[in-house]
Amino acid sequence: MNQPTDEKRIHTGELNRRDFLKRVGYASAVALAAGGLGLAFYDWKGPAASEGQKALTGLGDYTPRALASGGAKMAIIRGTDRAAMFAQGVKALGGMESFIQKGDRVLLKVNAAFATPASLGATTHPEVLAAVAGLCFKAGAAQVLVTDNPINNPDSCFEITGLAGAARATGARVIAPRAALFSPVSLPGGKLIQNWPVMAGVFQGVTKVIVVSPVKDHQRAGASMTLKNFYGFLGGRRNVFHQDINGIITELALLLKPTLCVLDGTVSMMTNGPTGGSLSDLKDTGTMVVSTDPVAADAVGVELLGRSLADVPYILMAQAAGAGQADYRLLNPVLLDTRA
Amino acid sequence: MARGKTKVGTTQRLVGYGILALLGLIAVWLLVQQSRFNPAVIVAMRAPQLQGRPQVVSGRALTATAALIPEVSGFTFLAPMESYGPENLSDKIDGKAELYLPAGFKEMSCRSFGLGASGGAHVEVFLYDMGLPQNAYAVFSGQRRPGSPGISLTANAYATANALFFTKGRFYVEIVADRASEALQSFLEAYAAALLANLPSEGETKDGAALFPKEGLALDSVRLSATDAFGLEGLNNMLTGEYSLKGGKATAFVTQRDTPEQAQAEARRYLDFLAANGYQKIETPGLPGDIPVLGLDNSFEMVFVQGRTLAGVHDASSLEAALELAAKLETALRGSREPAHR
Amino acid sequence: MRIVTVRRLSQIFFLAVFLWFCITATLGTAWWQLRGWPINWILNLDPLTALATALATGTLYAPLTWALVATFLTLFVGRFFCGFACPLGTINQFTGWLGRLGQGPAGRVEANRHRRPQAWKYYLLVFLLALTFMGSVQTGIFDPLPLLHRSVNLALFPLADNCLGVLSDEPRFYASVWVIGVVLLGVVGLNLAWPRFFCRFACPLGALFGLLSRFTPWRIGKTADTCGDCLICEQYCEGACRPSGKFIGSECVLCFNCLDRCPVSRVTFAGKASAAGEVWVPDLSRRGFIMAGAGVLLASMWGVGGLAGANRDPSLIRPPGALDEERFLARCIRCGQCMRICPGNIIQPALFEAGVQGLWTPTVNYRIGRSGCQPNCIACGQVCPTAAIRPLSLEEKQGLGEFAAQGPIRLGTAFVDRGRCLPWAMDRPCLVCHELCPVSPKAIFTRTVFETIRDGQAVPARVQGPGVELEAPISTEANLANGDYYLRSTGQPEAALRRIAGLAGTRLTLERPLAGESLPAMGARVDIVVRLARPFVDAAKCIGCGMCEHECPVSGRRAIRVYSENESRSRLGRMLI
């Protein structure tokens, strides 16, 4: 190539040189960035067999701490007026203030499994929900949440059962299940609840949990009461657990320790559970249990259904696992009758 | 065109050589890499070695029979050792298990071998522990292939074109190849010898044929029925042999009981059984003794007792054949019977 | 040595290496088999695969770091890969050259004229990266390296296998592979009309390399703005990058034909801009990018009606070690390596079995091939370039050693179709599936029943020892003497069964005579019963290897079939607790 001979050529040459160096610089910078990103993303061992997700180990222990020692832990109330029965029962256990303090955020787990009217007894009766929610607010609860993961469409379940109406009337808020509320839970020592989606999101900020359940016959489990109501926290294709219904209920009993359990046996579903569908499936059993121990509450419910603990194996299994006391008489329950 | 004449610049030439050198390096690297085998290839190569070790399938611990199947040079393992007990024998031999199970079957081990020297023949060895020598003899004789020659391997042994069958003590052995050839036979016998060396020496069952009169006897027809001979439940340990006589065909049978009384009782039971099946007593004037003859259509049965021995003629095709065989059998038994009785 | 000669040698070298890798993608230790040949090396050099999987997964699988080498070199010299290495580029260049033989200068110049649609490949690249951003890696459909691997592995070599039987002693079968073949024919055939059609208009990898060449310090250029207008450079330009005029940097594939052919050596490869001016990329329209960006929307819509979730097809079985469907589709580049290496030939390219977004991804088809998934084989995961199928050890696949707790890798579960199964529906003994189940203890177990065969009642005229004379012959096609048939007194299910050993006309011979109480009374009837071992699947033991399905004698729709239920790779399919 000829030597540059005039100003313009020199100028061009310098421009070229400067441009070249600039481009070398830019290219190097991009190369460095690419290399850096490559290093940052570098994965020497390849993907894991399954996506690692942090699993929770349980839903929490909401056992009432302030409960007077020696005070009654369980009340069995006879009667027909659900609101009055609950009011008397909880009074016998030291009043709602023993369980709910000012500012508490209370989660009410109801059984809203089916979109059937309350009169068919397949779901928690709205009167009990209203009574419990009302007393919660009266005791100073800041917020009362009502939830379940029903089998039918959640919105129709809450509406048709009257639970949504009862919640609205008392100022409680219904939380219907949605994907974001579920996260994987692995129960330590559990065989079934391992990395399984559970509705843990509704427990966000919750300080007290009250389980409000009806008393029902259940084809697979023998009976559906308080502990079986916990099934409603499960997500995913939970029906695989029907292969070991007693095992899963036992594990569920360990997953959550509620503040209070209300088992409403005013009317019990004696046959064709858990759906029922006919008034002839129901029987006036005129009893409500208010208990801090879900296992003891269910033991009473079994008697209302005219069955024995042998018919409902998960109750003794839950006791053996440490979830509560199946021989409820040992808890010296307070016996009341609102009709007296 | 100008390009042929264009002089190639030094830079271009050097860059070109540089690139070629790089390609050469890549080629060398590839050649080095190919010698470091992919894990998939290593696994594929390892598989035969895995099979080389005696393994036991179906979760059973290495069984006694499995330990007796020898490794013989020239025979390469094709599959792991398999062992079966009474509960799963039918997994291996299906319905044939019903032959072994009533005869006191204890366990069986089997293994497949390849015989490289014989054109890659496949050989499978079955070793059955039948518990007692007579049980082994029962399954041996019960499935003896007609027309196959006896061999001198053991007291009870015969060969077919592609297989050897024999008993030793309580063991029954089958060595079966997937093809037939002269050369193969000698390999099978060599294997049999190695296997026999592993088997403990214990009481042998005498060749049952010795009890029977020789004349007219088809040697390979001698069988020991461990249970339910002739369909009569409880008629056990029955030795039978088939005869072709002048008067026709007939089967001789011999069994022993612990006492003469038991033998008599068994004979009566058998006669009752025949009567229940419609056999009629046939008057045979001039027959010595009180040996009864029963017949149905053209089938004749005779039963007699000598001391502890119950014997007779079964399914003779004519009365003459029945009488002839009964006479011969009685003579033969009298010659061999223990003097203590009678 | 002239640089174009070096380029041609390099192209031949890489094409040969590529073909060699395809040949050696056969499991074995012979010199022409897999051994340790790094058969994924060319795929690993692919920055598009690296970028796409990194965007979709947030990780760069270790072997893909090779792509950085190609990236670095491109940053400094431009699309060397297209001109010197890409095997599909070489094939395109060669067929384009064939198509131009005998063509005059004007035609050649016209063929290599820069065309606006060369911008399409950039839109395609953006479209694919947009999909990738949404977790769906579709680059492999258009990326030339997976494309050619797939085409040669599945369409071309099987032709050779079938004719010559060199690489595989049995013909290889690949479902609907003609579609893959037609795509290759199209890509190659279009070169006859427009040289390097695919490279110029469609190749997303070329587009990525083009974008990476933004700052190349060295590039093609002219030393003077004006020249004799001979356009010889344009006649031989592979990239259609306008070397005679305003040079388009991203389109140059570094063929160096212009530099080599210029009669006055006015074309250089130098560290300065062309005297005739240069631009980085062709005219790209905003409209094109907006349309390409719609890929985000498309992937989102796939998510709405996705096949990975509740609506998944249970007959979609992925190879052992495959990730769960979502993560799988974030990695698979459809190169067909797993399908080529599978010694059973059961890994097949999906057409629409895995949804549109799963086109040509590997599925397992137990109806074809040589056997089910062999328990002693880990080949597919070991050759997967992106770990869409994880490289399993034999221990992990079989659930041994440290993997004992999680058990063997399950591909699914076998289900017995009782309406088609011979012993269940046809009264025919079979037991093939049970025999072939490789799991120990077997996942397939049987329950034995004795069923009276059709028209299987008869009246014995005479019973004598093992012989039973019937009043009338039994009407059946089955061979009653084959050991599976028995005789039993009618109405006495507990009575002793006697195996039928022979049948001649009306005379049955039993293996053992009827005894005592099992003797039929005069005129009473007897049943001819068949012994049936009916198969059941122990789902807790079944690994879904498909040996049973492969061997089931009901050859069309098998009477035992594997579905993805309980497959290890996803929790969605969990069936047992």
Mean pLDDT value of segment B46-64:
45
pLDDT in tens, A103-159: 999 999 999 999 899 999 999 999 999 999 999 999 999 999 999 998 888 888 999
Enumerate the residues of chain C whose CB falls inside 8 A of the CB of residue B57: 440
Q: Which fold has domain A60-337?
A: Rossmann fold (3.40.50)
Which one is predicted more confidently, C385 or A2? Answer: C385
Query: Which residue on chain C is closest to B234 by alpha carbon?
Result: C515
Among B218-222, C172-176, C318-322, name the most confident range: C318-322
What residues does each domain of chain B span?
Answer: 54-198, 208-336
Q: Are strands C560-563 and A74-78 parallel, antiparallel or unpaired?
A: unpaired
- The yes-or-no verdict on residue C112 having pLDDT over 70 is yes
Q: Which residues contact C164 (CB under 8 A, 6 or more apart)?
A: none
Interface of C with A in 396-425 (CB under 8 A): 406
- pLDDT band for position A261 (cuts 50, 70, 90): very high
Mean pLDDT value of segment C429-448:
89
Say yes or no: B146 contacts chain C, CB-CB below 8 A: no
Tokens of B291: 């040996």
Q: Which residues contact B162 (CB under 8 A, 6 or more apart)?
A: B176, B177, B178, B179, B180, B184
Question: What b/e sequence results for A226-246 when a residue is b if at least 16 CB atoms lie within 10 Å of its CB, and e otherwise?
Answer: bbbbbbbbbbbebeebeeebb
Number of DSSP helices (H) and strands (E) in chain C, helices first? 23, 16
Could you tell me the end-to-end alpha-carbon distance of chain C, in angstroms, rounded to an integer? 70
Cα separation, A31 vs B79, whole angstroms: 56
Tokens of B190: 């060599």
CA distance B191 to chain C (A): 28
Cα separation, A174 vs C362, whole angstroms: 46
Mean pLDDT value of segment C312-322:
92
Cα separation, C237 vs C195, whole angstroms: 10
Q: What pLDDT score was predicted for residue B338?
A: 47
Query: Of the given ranges (A200-214, B36-50, C253-267), which has the lowest mean pLDDT?
Result: B36-50
- The yes-or-no verdict on residue A238 having pLDDT over 80 is yes
Site of tokens 């071992």: C533
Q: 10 Å Cβ neighbour count for B239?
A: 23
- The yes-or-no verdict on residue C441 having pLDDT over 80 is yes
In CATH, C325-412 is 3.30.559: no
Say yes or no: A52 contacts chain C, CB-CB below 8 A: no
Q: What CA–CA distances, in Å, run from B336 to A51, A88, B240, B341?
A: 83, 102, 17, 12
Could you tell me the end-to-end alpha-carbon distance of chain A, in angstroms, rounded to an integer? 119
The percentage of chain C sitting over the pLDDT mark of 70, rounded to a whole number, equals: 97
Mutate to test the interface with B, among C255, C262, C382 (most CBs of B within 10 A): C382
Mean pLDDT value of segment C288-306:
78
Enumerate the residues of chain C whose CB falls inside 8 A of the CB of residue B43: 376-378, 394
Enumerate the residues of chain A whose CB falls inside 8 A of the CB of residue C406: 49
Say yes or no: B297 contacts chain C, CB-CB below 8 A: yes
Phi, psi of C564 (to 5 degrees): -75, 0
Q: What pLDDT score was predicted for residue A72?
A: 83
- The yes-or-no verdict on residue B58 having pLDDT over 80 is no
Say yes or no: C439 contacts chain B, CB-CB below 8 A: no
pLDDT in tens, B144-201: 777 777 888 887 888 888 889 998 888 999 998 887 777 788 888 888 888 888 888 7
Q: What SS3 state is found at C524?
A: coil
Mean pLDDT value of segment C80-97:
96
Nearest-by-Cβ selection for C390 from A31, A49, A237: A49
DSSP C304-356: HT-SSSTT--TT--PPTTBPPHHHHHTT-----HHHHH-TT--EEE-SSTT-G
Q: Which CATH number fits domain B54-198: 1.20.1070, 1.10.3470, 3.40.1000, 3.30.160?
A: 3.40.1000
Instruction: Give the helix ranges, DSSP H, for chain A.
Output: 7-41, 82-92, 126-138, 154-160, 163-170, 226-229, 245-255, 294-304, 313-320
CB distance B129 to B170 below 8 Å: yes
CB distance C351 to C179 below 8 Å: yes
- The yes-or-no verdict on residue A35 having pLDDT over 90 is yes
Enumerate the residues of chain B whose CB falls inside 8 A of the CB of residue C5: 16
Q: What pLDDT score was predicted for residue B1?
A: 40
- The yes-or-no verdict on residue B293 having pLDDT over 60 is yes
Say yes or no: C393 contacts chain A, CB-CB below 8 A: no
CB distance B202 to B169 below 8 Å: yes
Enumerate the residues of chain A whose CB falls inside 8 A of the CB of residue C272: 16, 19-20
Q: What pLDDT score was predicted for residue C571?
A: 73
pLDDT in tens, C30-46: 888 999 999 999 999 99
Cα separation, A332 vs A324, whole angstroms: 14
CB distance C497 to C474 below 8 Å: no
Say yes or no: C35 contacts chain B, CB-CB below 8 A: yes
ipTM value, please give it. 0.89
CB distance C328 to C322 below 8 Å: yes
Which one is predicted more confidently, B76 or C303? Answer: B76
Phi, psi of C398 (to 5 degrees): -90, -5
Mean pLDDT value of segment C307-333:
88
- The yes-or-no verdict on residue B219 having pLDDT over 80 is no
The crossing angle, in degrees rounded to 10, of helices C87-100 and C177-193 is 50
Mean pLDDT value of segment C185-202:
95
Cα separation, B208 vs B239, whole angstroms: 7
- pLDDT band for position B56 (cuts 50, 70, 90): very low
Is B299 in Cβ contact with C2 (below 8 Å)? no
CB distance C27 to C34 below 8 Å: yes
What residues does each domain of chain A span?
Answer: 1-46, 60-337
Cα separation, C469 vs C461, whole angstroms: 5
> SS3 string of chain B?
CCCCCCCCCHHHHHHHHHHHHHHHHHHHHHHHHHCCCCHHHHHHHHHHHHHHCCCCCCCCCCCHHHHHCCCCCCEEECCCCEEECCCCHHHHHHHHHHHHHHHCCCEEEEEEEEEHHHCCEEEEEEEEECCCHHHHHHHHHHCCCCCCCECCCCCEEEEECCEEEEEECCEEEEEEECCCCHHHHHHHHHHHHHHHHHCCCCCCCCCHHHHCCCCCECHHHCEEECCCHHHCCCCCCEEEEEEEECCEEEEEEEEECCCHHHHHHHHHHHHHHHHHCCCEECCCCCCCCCCCEEEECCEEEEEEEECCEEEEEEEECCHHHHHHHHHHHHHHHHHHCCCCCC
Phi, psi of C445 (to 5 degrees): -125, 170
User: C-alpha dihedral over B31, B36, B38, B44, to 10 degrees?
Assistant: 110
Among B43-47, B244-248, B255-259, C148-152, name the most confident range: C148-152
Cα separation, C15 vs C2, whole angstroms: 20
Is A43 in Cβ contact with C574 (below 8 Å)? no
- The yes-or-no verdict on residue A280 having pLDDT over 70 is yes
Q: Which residues contact B134 (CB under 8 A, 6 or more apart)?
A: B205, B224, B226, B237
Mean pLDDT value of segment C35-58:
95
CB distance A328 to A311 below 8 Å: no
Q: Could you give the count of Cα atoms lying within 13 Å of C521 in the half-sphere of its Cβ?
A: 3
Helix (H) or strand (E) holding A60: strand A60-61
Peptide bond into C204 cis (omega under 30): no
Mean pLDDT value of segment C282-303:
83
Instruction: Name the nearest CA neighbour of C442 among C541, C539, C372.
Output: C541
> What is the torsional sign of CA A320, A325, A329, A335?
negative
B54-198 matches B208-336 in fold: yes
- The yes-or-no verdict on residue A101 having pLDDT over 80 is yes
In CATH, B208-336 is 1.10.10: no
Q: Are strands B107-115 and B121-129 parallel, antiparallel or unpaired?
A: antiparallel
Q: How many Cβ pairs closer than 8 A exist between chain A and C? A: 95
Mutate to test the interface with A, among C378, C571, C575, C576 (most CBs of A within 10 A): C571
Q: What pLDDT score was predicted for residue B207?
A: 62
Say yes or no: C5 contacts chain A, CB-CB below 8 A: no
Q: 10 Å Cβ neighbour count for A340?
A: 6
Q: What SS3 state is found at A326?
A: coil
Q: What share of chain C is helix, strand, coil (3-state, %, to 5)?
A: 40, 15, 45
